Amino acid sequence: MIHTPVLIVGAGPAGAAAAATLARADVECLIVDKATFPRDKLCGGLVTERCMKLVRTVFNLDFDPAILNSSSDIKLMMNDTVMTHVVDQTVLNFTMRRDFDHWLLQKAIDLGANIRLGVGVAKIEKTQVVLSDETVIQFDTLIGCDGVNSGVARHLFSQSFDPKTIGFGLEVEAPLRDGQSVEIDFGAANWGYGWAFPKKKSITIGVGGVHAKNPNMKVRLKEYLAAHGVDPKDCKIKGQYIPFGDYRRMPGRDNIVLCGDAAGMVDPITGEGIGYAIQSGASAARAVMKSSTCDDTFKIYRREIAEIHDDLKRANLWRHVIFPRAIRPLFTKFFGETGTLSRGYLDVMAGRLNYSDLPKLLLKRIFMRR
């Protein structure tokens, strides 16, 4: 039997951020993950400026150019038709999660975090877990960072996510072509979009949206790949549930908290979740350090992540302006006639603006028409 003050389940960005924050404060912690790293993960790999600042703050790291690709050639599409083509005005950054997650985890290890990889959690109780190799680990606080299919969330709430509201995505890694633009196609899926994100050595092409509204997602991916000259038979297709705006208002209980995708902290419009994962993981660690008793941890954590929940609430409101089919003609017209709204959207996607800034841009667009 092993005892650790803080057990972190999941070694992705949220888990690494929690471990790095605790280790820097000399708080003993242990990370467990069923995967071995580096490992592949379905993700467009968008890295916002806000995320980059969090990496510097939480991990004391500057981005390695080898794992980051930047592009300022961006197309916003609707059903293969270009609404807006922006060049040299907004920069979007992308990474391969295989490299990025391993990089952050290694930093947490270097700071002193303990780690056990390649062994999953078989059973969770109030103060202990049993691993798949039958090891028993006792903990004071449990931080669940184990993704959208979270076993920690299932232990707390009987299910990892609500199947009525969860999103789903399919994507491939295709050969990179010279001059490839970043593309976001709002017509490629219902209540979602298609994406073509160039990385260092490949281009990630995929479609995603609310699962219940896209029963034919495989067909949509095939059509989207065909539009980009890619034969799906030549690529490995990856699929994953994505918590588009399906965030938990109560992400934990007593001495157990949920972070990142396990808590549904993914932007429902841009799909960005890496920054929220790092922010929530660090917040969970701070809650542990601030709490006088283990059962206080969740209460403090909720206050720590109030900013994230506010962002996601605003994003959930704006998705009703962007995704419904009935308003697509108006949406296309507004994005096509002027760069005000399209650049505002891209600045939100890049992490330079917040959703609270968009009403001012909308008013500006209205007055420009007069």
Judgement on whether residues 52 and 102 belong to the same structural domain of the protein: yes
132: in domain: yes
Query: What are the DSSP calls for 59-71, one per residue?
Result: H--PPPGGG-EEE
For residue 140, what are its two tokens? 């004071």
Cα(264)–Cα(250) distance, integer angstroms: 11
Which residue among 242, 275, 304 closes a domain?
A: 242
Per-residue confidence (pLDDT) for residue 352, from 0 to 100: 83
Judgement on whether residues 105 and 179 belong to the same structural domain of the protein: no
336: in domain: yes
- List the beta bridge partners of residue 52: none
> Which residues of the chain form beta strands (DSSP E)?
2-9, 29-33, 46-47, 69-78, 81-94, 114-117, 121-124, 128-131, 136-144, 167-175, 182-185, 192-198, 202-210, 238-242, 252-253, 256-258
For residue 212, what are its two tokens? 């219940």
74: in domain: yes
Judgement on whether residues 123 and 237 belong to the same structural domain of the protein: no
Cα(164)–Cα(1) distance, integer angstroms: 40
For residue 284, what are its two tokens? 């969970």
CATH of the domain at 49: 3.50.50.60
Judgement on whether residues 213 and 185 belong to the same structural domain of the protein: yes
Q: Is 17 exposed, middle or buried (0-12, 13-18, 19+ CB in 10 A)?
A: buried
Q: Give pLDDT tens digits along the chain (370 positions).
A: 899 999 999 999 999 999 999 999 999 999 999 999 999 888 889 999 999 999 999 999 988 888 999 999 999 998 888 888 888 888 999 999 999 999 999 999 999 999 999 999 999 998 999 999 999 999 999 999 999 999 999 999 999 999 999 999 999 999 988 778 999 999 999 999 999 999 988 999 999 999 999 999 999 999 999 999 998 888 899 999 999 878 999 999 999 999 999 999 999 888 899 999 999 999 999 999 998 776 789 999 999 999 999 999 999 988 888 888 888 887 777 776 556 777 788 888 888 888 887 777 665 554 444 4
Judgement on whether residues 149 and 108 belong to the same structural domain of the protein: yes
Judgement on whether residues 86 and 169 belong to the same structural domain of the protein: yes
320: in domain: no
Judgement on whether residues 168 and 237 belong to the same structural domain of the protein: yes
Cα(95)–Cα(66) distance, integer angstroms: 9
Cα(348)–Cα(355) distance, integer angstroms: 7
Cα(113)–Cα(106) distance, integer angstroms: 9
Q: How many domains does the chain have?
A: 3
Which residue among 279, 296, 315 closes a domain?
A: 315
Cα(55)–Cα(113) distance, integer angstroms: 17
pTM: 0.94
Judgement on whether residues 138 and 192 belong to the same structural domain of the protein: no
Judgement on whether residues 284 and 344 belong to the same structural domain of the protein: no
Judgement on whether residues 153 and 299 belong to the same structural domain of the protein: yes
Judgement on whether residues 46 and 106 belong to the same structural domain of the protein: yes
Per-residue confidence (pLDDT) for residue 306, from 0 to 100: 96
Candidates 3, 7, 2, 4; CA nearest to 285 is: 7
Judgement on whether residues 333 and 231 belong to the same structural domain of the protein: no
Long-range contacts at 178-181 (CB < 8 A, ≥ 24 apart): 179/73, 181/71, 181/73, 181/74, 181/75, 181/85
Q: Cα dihedral sign for 34, 36, 40, 44?
A: positive
Which residue among 242, 259, 278 closes a domain?
A: 242
Report residue 174 CA to chain centroid gap: 21
Q: Which domain holds residue 309?
A: 2-64+96-163+244-315
